[in-house]
Structure 1
């Protein structure tokens, strides 16, 4: 990323708000349903999202992201409740505007705004994944999706595929921003 977006904390806040509504759709009977993330069911996606929020909490608190964790008892027992709790804590930190300016992620140092922008992108897109797995169509709000689309071009490159993201799908300039964003990240928003 050349320059972290100045509005990254706002993007993160909007992503958390959007995703919180999607989490309201989750029911225990749906946890084994497939998601748009190839090979993942809803339970695995929620586990991944909990890991991501925990990493963002570490980044915004301690200024570093620890090595991957083994097991997360709270997230296993109540994945949605744990996500909501972590989202509230993260929102409070963002609203306070406190925290480090630079974050250690592995052996790299990143601007906290870059980490927040990456978190916003991941949380929003996974919020869409959750809704889709629950059988709901919750398009990303167009102005928000357009902003994330611009950020995604700075955050996702060929090295991220196919490890973190699927190959991009064909899209059209006439498609809504949310459809283009999801296609860029390997998701077909128009599929039934």
Structure 2
């Protein structure tokens, strides 16, 4: 937990900054995450933040609500819950996964959806190298389970010597060259 919280916090703050910079007229833009436009992606991030806040308390999964435009605030609450040492202990009864696995799932969401949002809205995005490294290592181990659960798409081929972030994107089914 001690070494994971700073990485999660940096990744979350980067994504929250991107969300804050979205203009109203960009909400209908397509994203690299084919199931979401920008508004849908931000709504997904709101739900993920609320859900991971609950999971960090060993609580239940929560249903996704309507778009509220408050992802940064929800993300702050989520980080506050996960900053407690007990949040990292054991497994979550609702998901049956170790809490460390859930923390890494959050990290992957923040790193990848930050890129999705930046690409869709024309913002600069330079993910934290440590976050990318951890997200890639975790995803390599969990990708098949993610595909079975419909979280990741079919892999997109990237060169073996591609940067780690491009390899992460390709592994989960994103084309690193995607443009709106």
Matching residue within 65, 80, 88 for 1:92: 80
Q: Could you tell me which residue of structure 2 aligns to residue 129 of structure 1?
A: 116
Distance in 2 separating the partners of 1:60 and 1:183: 29
> TM-score, structure 1 length as denominator?
0.81
- Shift in alpha-carbon separation, 1:49–1:161, aligned structure 2, 3 A: same
Q: Could you tell me which residue of structure 1 aligns to residue 93 of structure 2?
A: 104
Matching residue within 170, 173, 179 for 1:186: 173
Deviation readout 1:27-47 (Å, 9 max, x if unpaired)? 111000000011321111111
Matched-pair contact (CA < 8 Å) for 1:11–1:117: no
Distance in 1 separating the partners of 2:158 and 2:148: 17
- Shift in alpha-carbon separation, 1:171–1:158, aligned structure 2, 3 A: farther
How many pairs are equivalent? 178
TM-superposed CA distance for 1:100, in Å, is 6.0
Matched-pair contact (CA < 8 Å) for 2:111–2:131: no
Distance in 2 separating the partners of 1:43 and 1:159: 24
Matched-pair contact (CA < 8 Å) for 1:20–1:84: yes
Uncovered stretches (5+) of structure 1, i.e. residues with no partner: none
Distance in 2 separating the partners of 1:162 and 1:117: 16
* Helix, strand or coil at the partner of 2:151: coil
Q: Does 1:34 align with 2:26?
A: no
Higher relative contact order (CA 8 A, sep 6+): 1
> TM-score, structure 2 length as denominator?
0.86
Q: Does 1:13 align with 2:9?
A: yes
Stretch moving more, 178-187 or 89-98 = 89-98
Q: Could you tell me which residue of structure 2 aligns to residue 152 of structure 1?
A: 139
Matched-pair contact (CA < 8 Å) for 2:20–2:72: no
- Shift in alpha-carbon separation, 1:137–1:180, aligned structure 2, 3 A: farther
